[in-house]
Amino acid sequence: MKSILFLCVANSARSQMAEGLARRIFGPLINVQSAGSKPTGVSPFAIKVMDEIGIDISKHYSKPLTDIDLEAVDTIVTLCEDEVCPIVPSGRILKINRPFPDPNFPGENDEVVLERFRGIRDVIEKFLKELKLAFDQKNIHST
């Protein structure tokens, strides 16, 4: 089985949404994981906006990069924008950097934050559909 790992700092929003979306888009033949350099817990906003499109990430949990067996990972997608993304070893792993802004701005009105999360969710979904198409065209990640 091939594997994709989504990385960001907190493993609370972008990488969690990407993990949930990728499971739907790539299907069961690809092992999908997410992790962060400083995991903090899954954002309730991420859980809510994913539930709105029928993807349940309520059982997801934030994981440190050290919990991931990098020997079993084929592709790493870093999602950090302004933060410093986790550093991963060079070598045989395909690395893709696709920065998305952190949707979590504490202290704002919940509806404003939810709208920002929805926007990030939607652009991550578009990116993942394009990535799957590219992989399919290049026969990457096929079994």
| For the chain, domain boundaries | 2-138
Looking at per-residue pLDDT, the higher value among 130 and 136 belongs to: 130
The Cα 37–Cα 130 span in angstroms is 26
Structure tokens at 11: 């493993």
Query: Which of 4, 5, 7, 8 does the annotation list as catalytic?
Result: 8
- pLDDT, position 83: 67
Model confidence at 27: pLDDT above 80: yes
The Cα 93–Cα 95 span in angstroms is 6
Query: Which of 25, 70, 85, 96 does the annotation list as catalytic?
Result: 85
**Is 1 a known active-site residue?**
no
- Find out whether 35 and 11 touch, Cβ atoms under 8 Å: yes
CATH level 3 topology of 2-138 = Rossmann fold (3.40.50)
Backbone phi, then psi, for 50, in 5-degree steps? -75, -40
Structure tokens at 116: 């920002």
Q: How confident is the model at residue 128 (pLDDT cuts 50, 70, 90)?
A: very high
Q: How confident is the model at residue 140 (pLDDT cuts 50, 70, 90)?
A: low
pLDDT in tens, 42-85: 999 999 999 999 999 999 999 999 999 998 999 999 998 866 77
The Cα 51–Cα 91 span in angstroms is 36
DSSP class of residue 37 equals: S
For the entire predicted model, the pTM comes to 0.92
**Is 51 a known active-site residue?**
no
The Cα 78–Cα 118 span in angstroms is 19
**Is 107 a known active-site residue?**
no
